[in-house]
Amino acid sequence: MPVKDYIRERFFPHLWCPGCGHGIVMNALIRAIEALGLSKNEIVMVSGIGCSSRISGYLDFHTLHTIHGRALAFATGVKMGVPGLNIIVPMGDGDALAIGGNHFIHAARRNIEMTAIIMNNRIYGMTGGQYSPLSGYGTLATTAPYTNIDHAFDVVQLSTAAGATFVARTTTYHVQQMIDCFKKAILHEGFSVVEVLSQCPTYFGRKNKMGSAADMMAFYRDHTAPIGSEKKKENPDLIERGIFVQKDLPEYCRAYDKIIERAKGKGKKG
């Protein structure tokens, strides 16, 4: 199916700013789904609130646009309701890791099968450019006019520590890697996290003098390196890209199915 079959064309052009990284994530996600040959009826997309979370309205799946930070909790109910569904949960950095932080670590801990996509543009874009837990020390934002004193999460480490069994990081520059990560994340039977370093040229970019959207993507090209690569060894300050965790552990819904088997057996006795 061509890419346009996956979008709700009547709503295009979409609401994102020129050069917004979210559009690139959407583009890559569609291609990953197309490459996997998934049926549109088996996909449920659950998003929260923010520019990132508007992605669900533009895609032709079962789409659930929920409340700020709680997408993973809604998604848990959907997944347990019909475990055969393919659940994709795109969220912004603030939505997933500030207000949604608790639900993030618990969904990871449960290893419930769904794909969390952290569209990390290091800002709260929809509300006009406030700092997020991913903005980073020393950056400027509308609520950090004297520079941010908060240090950022390392999303890969956080996901891994919480128990996610598939953890990847990529950027909006590295589109082929992004498509590949999405494919593997969706196929992975467990809690998958893909962090996409993305750009908000309108707020984060302008406030922090990072140039155009293309400049910000070039920044990701120049400041990241594949995991364990020579480039990284030469410059330890670079951010690693790639698949950090990919392991097979019991998935939550399947484990609960076993509970049902045992409970049914018990119920029959006497």
Binding residues among 202-221 for other proteins as defined by CB under 8 A: 212-214, 217-218
Contact letters for other proteins, residues 54-73 (x by CB under 8 A): --xx--xxxxxxxx--x--x
Shortest Å distance, C-beta 259 to other proteins: 5
Spatial separation of the C-alpha atoms in residues 114 and 164, rounded to whole Å: 10
**Three-state secondary-structure class, residue 130:** strand
- Rule CB under 8 A: which of 17-36 touch other proteins? 17-24, 26-28, 30-31
Whose Cβ is closer to other proteins: residue 31's or residue 241's? 31
Segment interacting with other proteins (CB under 8 A) among 38-46, 134-142, 158-166, 235-243: 38-46
**Residue 209 contacts by C-beta under 8 Å, 6 or more apart in sequence?**
none
147 makes contact with other proteins (CB under 8 A)? no
- Rule CB under 8 A: which of 95-124 touch other proteins? 102-103, 106
Spatial separation of the C-alpha atoms in residues 87 and 66, rounded to whole Å: 14
- CA torsion sign for 17, 21, 27, 30 is negative
- The footprint of other proteins on this chain (CB under 8 A) covers a number of residues equal to 71
259 makes contact with other proteins (CB under 8 A)? yes
**Residue 3 contacts by C-beta under 8 Å, 6 or more apart in sequence?**
27, 30, 31, 34
Spatial separation of the C-alpha atoms in residues 66 and 48, rounded to whole Å: 5
Whose Cβ is closer to other proteins: residue 54's or residue 184's? 54
Shortest Å distance, C-beta 175 to other proteins: 4
14 makes contact with other proteins (CB under 8 A)? yes
38 makes contact with other proteins (CB under 8 A)? no
**Three-state secondary-structure class, residue 63:** strand
Binding test (CB under 8 A) with other proteins, winner from 32, 52, 76, 115: 76
Shortest Å distance, C-beta 117 to other proteins: 15
> Residue written as tokens 């300050």?
237
Shortest Å distance, C-beta 138 to other proteins: 27
39 makes contact with other proteins (CB under 8 A)? no
266 makes contact with other proteins (CB under 8 A)? yes
Spatial separation of the C-alpha atoms in residues 243 and 54, rounded to whole Å: 26
- Rule CB under 8 A: which of 163-192 touch other proteins? 172-173, 175-176, 179
Tokens found for residue 54: 């508007």
Going through the chain in order, the beta strands assigned E by DSSP cover 43-47, 62-65, 86-92, 114-120, 166-171, 191-197, 224-226, 239-246
84 makes contact with other proteins (CB under 8 A)? yes
